[in-house]
Chains A and B, each alone.
Chain A
Amino acid sequence: MSTEQDEPTAETTTDADEAPAQTPGDRRREEKQARMQVTERERAEAAAAADETVQLKVFRFDPEVPEKEEPRFDDFHVPYVQGMTVLDALIYARDEFDSSLTFRHSCRQAVCGSDALFINGSQRLACKTQLSALDAPVRVEPLPHQDVVKDLVVDMEHFYDQMEAVEPYMQSEEFPEGELEEQRQSPENREKIKMSTRCIWCGACMSSCNIAAGDNEYLGPAAINKAYRFAMDEREEDDIKEHRMRIMEQEHGVWRCQTQFSCTEVCPKDIPLTEHIQELKREAVKSNLKFW
Chain B
Amino acid sequence: MSQSYDRGLIEDFGRWREFSAGMWAWILHKFTGWVLIGYLFMHIAVLSTAIDAASGDPATYTDTIQGLESLLVVRVLEIGLLATAVFHILNGVRLLMVDLGVGLEAQDKSFYASLVVTGGIVVASVPTFLGGGVV
Contact = CB atoms under 8 A, between A and B. Distances in A.
Interface of A: 61, 63-64, 71, 118, 121-122, 142, 144-145, 147-149, 155, 210, 213-214, 258-262, 264-265, 272, 274-275, 278-279, 281-282
Contact of B20 (A61, A155, A262): A262
Contacts of A282: 99-101
Interface in B76-109: 95, 98-101, 104-105, 107-108
Determine which residue in B7, B98, B99, B105 has the highest number of CB atoms from chain A within 10 A of its CB, and name it: B7
A264 to B, nearest CB: 8
B4 A155 contact: yes
B10 A145 contact: yes
B7 A259 contact: no
B128 interface: no
B5 A148 contact: yes
Interface residues of B, number: 27
Contacts of A278: 98-99, 101, 104
B4 A63 contact: yes
Contact of A147 (B6, B15, B98): B6
Given A122-B18, A281-B99, A282-B101, A262 B5 contact: no
Given A64-B2, A121-B15, A275 B7 contact: no
Contacts of A262: 20, 22-23
Nearest to B27: A260
A183 B116 CA distance: 51
A213 to B, nearest CB: 6
Given A122-B18, A278-B98, A281-B99, A258 B26 contact: yes
Interface of B: 1-7, 9-11, 15, 18, 20-23, 25-26, 95, 98-101, 104-105, 107-108
A282 B102 CA distance: 12
A265 B15 CA distance: 16
A226 to B, nearest CB: 19
A215 to B, nearest CB: 12
Nearest to A122: B18
Contact of B101 (A147, A214, A258, A275): A275
B119 to A, nearest CB: 22
B5 A260 contact: no
Given A274-B104, A278-B99, A259 B22 contact: yes
A149 B15 CA distance: 24
A275 B107 CA distance: 11
A144 B4 contact: no
B78 to A, nearest CB: 30
9 contacts: A118-B10, A148-B6, A258-B26, A259-B98, A259-B107, A261-B107, A274-B98, A279-B101, A282-B100
